[in-house]
Amino acid sequence: MGARFVAALGRVQTVQGFLLGLLMLAMTFGYATNVLVREIMPSLAPRLAWIDEVSLFGLVWIVFLAIGLALESGRHISMRMLLDRMPPSAQRLVKIVINLLGLVFSVYMLKVGWEITAFVARSGQTSPTLGFSVAWLYGIMPVGFLLLAAQYLVELLGLSDRFAREIDPMHHL
């Protein structure tokens, strides 16, 4: 069961990575277009006011889609100096506590995110430029924390160990 769960999570993470790249490209293209239009044809700029709103939605989605991937790759903020100086048995215990607290926090935030999204959806609040339900903005929060909780669960079950990976600080620069 564990191997299938990890494989399924890996497929979800592949889709996450694709969506993150797509959102970043769309935001870059949108902002570049917006700047060019403002400089070249200022009279058309008001017609592109929606780009800022779409980019805001995209940025929020990027943050919440990326939190699980950041944990999986060992890129969350961590202080390994103390952990590395502990004996192996203490390291195992500390890792379990860290992952358990992370899982509990993620599940709690999933619940809070779900409640906020439901509240906003019931309120009928819409975005000013596009008229989209603001629930689309908040709706990614429970999804992101669900994916983060799944990654903490993988760590707790011993199917992955982000602490064992050496992180190259120059990677992605």
User: Is 7 part of any domain?
Assistant: yes
Please measure the distance between the N-terminal and C-terminal CA atoms of the chain and give it in whole angstroms. 37
Rounded Cα distance between 65 and 59, Å, is 10
DSSP-derived secondary structure letter, 132: -
What's the domain count of the chain?
1
* Closest alpha carbon to 141 in 74, 57, 72, 78: 57
Q: What is the pTM of this model?
A: 0.85
User: Is 172 part of any domain?
Assistant: no
Confidence (pLDDT) at 46: 87
164: left (phi over 0), alpha (psi -120 to 50) or beta: alpha
User: Is 171 part of any domain?
Assistant: no
User: Is 157 part of any domain?
Assistant: yes
User: Is 75 part of any domain?
Assistant: yes
Mean of all residue pLDDT scores within the chain? 89
8 Å CB contact between 167 and 75? yes
Rounded Cα distance between 121 and 43, Å, is 35
Q: Which residues share a beta bridge with 126? A: 133
What is the domain range of residue 114? 2-164
User: Is 126 part of any domain?
Assistant: yes
For 55-80, the pLDDT digits (tens) are: 999 999 999 999 988 888 777 777 77
User: Is 170 part of any domain?
Assistant: no
The dihedral through the CA atoms of 80, 83, 84, 85 has a sign that is: positive
Quote helix, strand, coil % in the chain, to nearest 5. Answer: 80, 0, 20
User: Is 173 part of any domain?
Assistant: no
For 75-99, the pLDDT digits (tens) are: 777 777 788 888 989 989 999 999 9
Q: What is the mean pLDDT of residues 24-31?
A: 94
